[in-house]
Amino acid sequence: MISHFIFTVLALSGVLFAGEQSPIPADDIILFKNGATIPANPINIDQQPANGSITLTFQSTYFNQPLPVVASDLKEIIYPSHKKQMEGPCVVWFATGETLSGQFESLNTDYINLTASWGEHLSIPLRSLRSIVFNQQGQLIYAGTENPSGWTGIQGSYPVNSQAWSTFRGSFLSTPPGGTISYPMALSDSIHVSLSLQGRPYVRFLMHLWKDDSSTANACVDFHFLHDIFQLTEIVDDMADTLANDPTPQTDSVSQESEVQSQSTRIDLFANRQQGLYYVYIDGQLAKQCTREVAPDRPPTSQAQPQFGSGFSLESFDSILLISHLRVTQWNGQFPGKQLLEPAKQLPPSRQQSFDFPIVQLTNGDLLRGSVSSPDAANFHIQSHLYKLVLPQRKISQISLVSAEADIASPDATLAQFYLTDGSILIGTPLSLNENTWQISSYSLGLVHIHDTMISRIIFRAPSPPVSQS
């Protein structure tokens, strides 16, 4: 392997760090496809137009000279010191699977304009989007599994203890015998917890909702998820074998990774803990509902009002688990009903003249279909053949774009997947790295410039096989 050859040459040339030079900060972790791992910082990108290859140069405390590595030899670059941020007020979901978090600016019939979390102003064609989600102030409590910072009980990216929780390509991974991970979050009395789950050879795990109560009795509410009760989806066989042998495997096929993700089961828990009402949905269908009184016994005090929840934890046991798309939000406390259905399935069949109109979901659950525009960030104009409305942005929850199928090609040919600290996921090719700023050719956004403090990890994808010329 090229990386093995590089290490050998460095050692023979006497370029190992001698100790008398100033140490180079090395907070980042570089993982190679051949299993090698070193702490090092990327400092430069060099493109070879002749053969299309890309070489990244790293600095490390283990070497006193820069270390060049061909991108095709890289598996991941992980930034464990870059702390997770909350999603922005607006999140757009692309048809390619990418997501972008930022500040909403305006919307017309063709484009949405927003400011990304890293500061760039972007104009995005609506034909490339599936939906636009608005995180109203105070509604979002937690989102994401791409960055484990703030969690206790989860292993760092390296070294990884195979018998513990760790991270795997933007998901939380647990291998036998399992354990417990927790995150301190202030849970409101009514919450909605959603996540995607896979398990092998079966699913068995606990979800704990902790409350702010000094007494040990009824300190939390437990939800025990078992495969035979909920009929949860298992990980496909070849993926399970890989996970059992390597906690951080390299998925060489983009299509295989997409297949694994498509096999996951979605779990939604709606909890009104003040009234003791709980609803569990599996893949959008109501699976269980129960009641339990969980209000704290202690009386309110002037120093601190009792709140329902000060933490959230997941406990695994003797099976392999992959958990992704974890999201905790406030909930209105009412029976969810059809809340989990896609907006298009909640509405009656549309009239022919409104078939291509977006569907606007309001914060109270109401749905509207019509043309949508917003000349500023304050108000939305919604118009159909039946009504013409102007609504403040704070009442908009989501806009689902149901226009005709766009001719969107697969991004398989791109080199890397960038996970950002705010939950954004970009697919693209790194072009340059200057003064800790990455220049990335994003598949959906075009050319963007992102400071490395915004990046949580970079996963290098296997290049597509060359197309034969007949």
Residue 428 lies in a domain: no
Q: Region 212-216: what's the mean pLDDT?
A: 48
C-alpha span between 296 and 213 (Å, rounded): 6
Residue given tokens 């689902």 in the structure block:
400
- Same domain? For 50 and 153 the reply is no
Which of 31, 81, 36 lies closest to 56, judged by CA? Answer: 31
- Same domain? For 198 and 323 the reply is yes
Structurally, the chain folds into a number of domains equal to 2
Residue 252 pLDDT = 37
Q: Which CATH number fits the domain that encloses residue 324?
A: 2.60.120.560
Q: Which domain holds residue 53?
A: 2-78
pLDDT-based confidence at residue 292 (cuts at 50, 70, 90)? low
Residue 270 lies in a domain: yes
Residue 339 pLDDT = 67
Residue 413 pLDDT = 54
Structure tokens at 90: 């607006």
Q: Is the pLDDT of residue 89 over 80?
A: yes
pLDDT > 70: what percent of the chain?
69
Report CA torsion sign: 15, 16, 22, 24. Answer: positive
Q: Is the pLDDT of residue 443 over 50?
A: yes
- Same domain? For 150 and 296 the reply is yes
The alpha carbon of residue 456 and the mean position of all alpha carbons in its chain are separated, in whole angstroms, by 11
Length of the chain: 470
Structure tokens at 70: 């061909």
Residue 386 pLDDT = 82
Residue 376 lies in a domain: no
- Same domain? For 59 and 178 the reply is no
Residue 404 pLDDT = 41
Strand-strand pairing, 320-330 and 359-362: unpaired
- Same domain? For 171 and 295 the reply is yes
- Same domain? For 195 and 293 the reply is yes
Radius of gyration (C-alpha) of the chain in whole angstroms: 24
Q: What is the DSSP letter of 306?
A: -
- Same domain? For 186 and 63 the reply is no
- Same domain? For 52 and 148 the reply is no
Using the 3D structure, point to which of 307, 330, 353 is the last residue of a domain: 330
Alpha-carbon distance values, 202 to 192, 216, 234, 236, 468 (Å): 25, 31, 6, 11, 42
Assess contact for 211 and 217: CB atoms under 8 A. no
Query: How many CB atoms sit inside 10 A of residue 321's CB?
Result: 25
Assess contact for 56 and 44: CB atoms under 8 A. yes
- Same domain? For 169 and 53 the reply is no
Residue given tokens 């607006």 in the structure block:
90
Residue 299 lies in a domain: yes
Asked whether the whole model's pTM tops 0.75, one would answer no
C-alpha span between 446 and 464 (Å, rounded): 20
C-alpha span between 395 and 59 (Å, rounded): 49
Grouping H, G, I as helix, E, B as strand and the rest as coil, residue 4 is: helix
- Same domain? For 19 and 167 the reply is no
Residue 114 lies in a domain: no
C-alpha span between 358 and 223 (Å, rounded): 37
Q: At CB < 8 A and 24+ separation, what contacts does 383-388 make? A: 384/354, 384/357, 385/351, 385/353, 385/354
Residue 169 pLDDT = 74
Residue 121 lies in a domain: no
Residue 458 lies in a domain: no
57/17: higher pLDDT:
57
Residue 251 pLDDT = 37
Residue 230 lies in a domain: yes
C-alpha span between 176 and 162 (Å, rounded): 8
Q: Which of 17-26, 304-313, 332-341 is least confident?
A: 17-26
Using the 3D structure, point to which of 45, 78, 111 is the last residue of a domain: 78
Assess contact for 400 and 130: CB atoms under 8 A. yes
Amino acid (one-letter) located at 389? L
**pLDDT tens column, 93-146:** 998 888 999 999 999 988 999 999 999 999 999 988 989 989 877 788 888 887
Residue given tokens 């003797």 in the structure block:
318
- Same domain? For 65 and 166 the reply is no
Using the 3D structure, point to which of 276, 310, 330 is the last residue of a domain: 330
- Same domain? For 261 and 160 the reply is yes
Orientation of helix 237-245 relative to helix 254-262, angle to 10°: 110
C-alpha span between 105 and 379 (Å, rounded): 11
